[in-house]
């Protein structure tokens, strides 16, 4: 595996691969890799492309009171893991390499970035789309892989690529869960054993909400109330949001008709977890 923290060096390596006619696939991450990331990498590898994994904890997407400083980091462990799965190139820039001077240019996907996680994390998605655009310009991938645990992020990046005509195919990869249902997240390490146990309520309530919809429930507010009541009654989690939205464009849904996203963010102690489920609904004939 090749490894660099330097943008010019990375560009040279990519240029050589492109000369050989190889497609390039990018898996952008913030490190502290888990099976979810490794699944993204496996999907990238299956395409036969030259696989680049970036590891960069992006300060621009953290608010002043968020967990940038505390975000877990272990670059050497990450490097070992991705070497084992056969990544071609690890890009691990420093903050100075990515942001040599204060940024005054940003990429913003409006509207989609104001709901769900965007409502209580102003500037978060602007930070994500800005760093992902920078990574896209640096690596110039043909394909890029994103996990659907961050479903809103995945939709926002697809929209950015479409609106800006970037020649990149964005692929979403389904959520990877522990056997007991907990969605994999780098932040799970912060949960105490009790909080981890309580956090199972998230995937359980999403599964039960899906069953309710499959049995005929069509009220979006009804589903939100069901999930909210379950989480409130059965855990000490503090709800940030629980929302049912259109799974294609995140627009408001009153009556559940097409595919819907049930998305939630809940805090267990200081640790904020997100989870979601996309539920397909056959249109009534």
Interface ranges with ligand PAF (CB under 6 A) = 28-30, 58, 61, 128, 131-132, 150, 153
For ligand PAF, give the closer residue by CB, 113 or 150. Answer: 150
- Cβ-contact 263, 116 below 8 angstroms: yes
- Cβ-contact 140, 24 below 8 angstroms: yes
For ligand PAF, give the closer residue by CB, 153 or 276. Answer: 153
Closest distance of CB 124 from ligand PAF, Å: 9
β pairing state of 271-279 and 260-268: antiparallel
The dihedral formed by the CA atoms of 32, 146, 26 and 186, expressed in degrees to the nearest 10: 0
For ligand PAF, give the closer residue by CB, 39 or 61. Answer: 61
Largest CA-CA distance found in the chain, in angstroms, rounded = 59
DSSP codes, 130-144: HHHHHHHHHH--SEE
Instruction: Identify the active-site residue in 37, 101, 124, 137.
Output: 37
Closest distance of CB 172 from ligand PAF, Å: 12
3-class SS of residue 105: coil
37 catalytically annotated? yes
Which segments of 60-141 are extended strands (E)?
89-91
For ligand PAF, give the closer residue by CB, 128 or 202. Answer: 128
- Tell me how far apart the terminal alpha carbons of the chain are, to the nearest angstrom: 54
Closest distance of CB 213 from ligand PAF, Å: 27
Nearest to 49 by CA among 167, 170, 143: 143
Cα separation, 17 vs 23, in Å, equals: 8
Cα separation, 216 vs 210, in Å, equals: 10
Q: Tokens 């259109």 belong to which residue?
A: 246
Which segments of the chain are extended strands (E)?
2-4, 24-29, 50-55, 89-91, 143-147, 169-173, 238-246, 260-268, 271-279
For ligand PAF, give the closer residue by CB, 199 or 274. Answer: 274
Closest distance of CB 147 from ligand PAF, Å: 7
Closest distance of CB 63 from ligand PAF, Å: 14
For ligand PAF, give the closer residue by CB, 220 or 264. Answer: 264
Closest distance of CB 132 from ligand PAF, Å: 6
Cα separation, 263 vs 243, in Å, equals: 5
Give catalytic residues, as residue numbers: 37
């Amino acid at each position: 595996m090749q490894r660099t923290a330097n943008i010019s060096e990375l560009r040279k390596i990519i240029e050589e691969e492109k000369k050989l006619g190889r497609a390039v696939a990018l898996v952008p991450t913030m490190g502290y890799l888990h099976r979810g990331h490794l699944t993204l990498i496996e999907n990238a590898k299956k395409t036969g492309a030259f696989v680049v994994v970036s590891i960069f904890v992006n300060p621009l997407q953290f608010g002043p009171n968020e967990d940038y400083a505390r975000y877990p980091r272990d670059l050497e462990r990450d490097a070992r893991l991705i070497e084992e799965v056969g990544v071609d190139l690890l890009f691990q820039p420093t903050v100075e390499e990515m942001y040599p001077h204060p940024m005054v240019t940003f990429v913003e996907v409006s509207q989609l970035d104001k709901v769900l996680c965007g409502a209580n994390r102003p500037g978060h998605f602007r930070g994500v789309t800005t760093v992902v655009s920078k990574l896209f310009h640096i690596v110039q991938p043909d394909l890029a892989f994103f996990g659907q645990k961050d479903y809103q992020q995945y939709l926002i990046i697809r929209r950015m690529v479409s609106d800006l005509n970037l020649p990149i195919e964005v692929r979403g990869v389904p959520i990877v869960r522990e056997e007991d249902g907990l969605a994999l997240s780098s932040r799970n390490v912060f949960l105490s054993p009790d909080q981890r146990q309580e956090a199972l309520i998230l995937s359980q309530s999403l599964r039960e909400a899906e069953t309710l919809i499959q049995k005929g429930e069509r009220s979006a507010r009804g589903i939100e109330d069901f999930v909210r009541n379950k989480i409130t009654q059965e855990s000490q989690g503090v709800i940030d949001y629980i929302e049912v939205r259109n799974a294609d464009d995140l627009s408001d849904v009153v009556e559940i008709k097409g595919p819907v996203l049930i998305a939630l963010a809940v805090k267990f102690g200081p640790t904020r977890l997100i989870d979601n489920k996309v539920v397909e609904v056959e249109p009534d004939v």
